[in-house]
Amino acid sequence: MRLFSIEPVISFALPPRCPGCGMVTIADHRFCPACWASLHFLGPPWCAACHMPFAYDRGEDTRCGDCLADPPRHAGVDAAVAYGPVARTVALRLKYGGRAAFASTAARLMARHLPADADLIVPVPLHRWRLWSRGFNQAGLIAGSLSRMSGIVSDPSALVRRRATPVLRGLGAAGRRKAVRGAFVVTDRARIVGKRIVLIDDVHTSGATADACTAAMLRAGAARVSILCWARVLDGPHPD
């Protein structure tokens, strides 16, 4: 007896759509041609320390002015794309629109930046009150998707945000650092000591949060911490 498959019916009724504009596409997690063309994918040439893109190749070991003045403790900030209209839409729909599938959309484009020798994936944590009110951590969803794609273990509870922090938008550099100072703590040193860690976030803005997370994990004995996110703010207005 031939069994009836419901998948074609579902695909017809709920076709895959572009994560950026909602246009029907040929497969899940695919952008339409217009949205795809508008994405600014990031990669070399960039600063040897923070991976901020350069307009032209300045040499493999060249560092930007900020990193020369204040060398970062992390091993670089990698992002799939620059923050812009389509990247913003994906981030907001994941964060506030309940589009959990967009975590996989982001992870697919972030995976090329995963360090080959990474030991552990750790998402930037939410404070427990924010997690309870939202119901999920968007960075944790992305980290889980990356773990499934790469086989690298993800530990969403290795790092916790022990106190709520204010919105950093509008604060100066000193204010942002003060707001997150001491906010993050490693729950069990044995889980990260000696590990090469990839810290996952959705959007990298000022770097204050990532720096505070990095400091906490290095103090606990991590061998290296690199940052990987969906989108990085290069200039212009910061995210919502």
| 193 confidence band (pLDDT: 50, 70, 90) | very high
| Three-state secondary-structure class, residue 64 | coil
Q: In angstroms, rounded to a whole number, what is the distance separating the alpha carbons of residues 97 and 213? A: 26
Q: Is the pLDDT of residue 149 over 70?
A: yes
Domain-wise residue ranges, the chain:
1-38, 40-232
45 cis-preceded (ω within 30 degrees of 0): yes
196-204 vs 153-154, strand pairing mode: unpaired
Tally of CA atoms within 13 A in the half-sphere of 160 that contains its CB? 10
| 3-state secondary structure at position 213 | helix
Question: Stretch 107-128: mean pLDDT, rounded?
Answer: 94
Looking at the structure, give the CATH architecture of the domain made up of residues 40-232.
Answer: 3-Layer(aba) Sandwich (3.40)
Higher-pLDDT residue of 54, 173: 54
Predicted local distance difference test score (pLDDT) of residue 2? 46
Amino acid at 134: R
